[in-house]
Amino acid sequence: MQVRTEGDDQVSLIVDEDRCIGIGQCELLEPEVFQLGDEDAISRVVDSAGLPRVRALEVVDRCPSSAISIAEPHGA
């Protein structure tokens, strides 16, 4: 049986494109997950597999415009 500790569950992330100001902090932190658009410099999630929750919370916290949020599954 696999034992999970709090915070290691995998969560998906969402970028609110209207709030993103293109600083690129998320892409620096997790280049496999976020990519800024070549033309509009808006961040988009390119790997929907997500991140461990503790890391996701860190990335959410580091976004200067609060544009990143965790996509909670239905029923969570």
Span from 5-13, 50-58, 63-71 in contact with ligand SF4 (CB under 6 A): 63-71
- Determine which helix (DSSP H) or strand (DSSP E) holds 60, and give its type and residue range: helix 53-62
Span from 1-9, 47-55, 64-72 in contact with ligand SF4 (CB under 6 A): 64-72
Please pick, from the candidates 7, 14, 21, 32, the single residue that binds ligand SF4 as defined by CB under 6 A. Answer: 21
Q: Which is nearer to ligand SF4, 15 or 56 (CB)?
A: 15
Cβ atoms of 64 and 26 closer than 8 Å:
no
Q: Fill in the DSSP letter of residue 76.
A: -
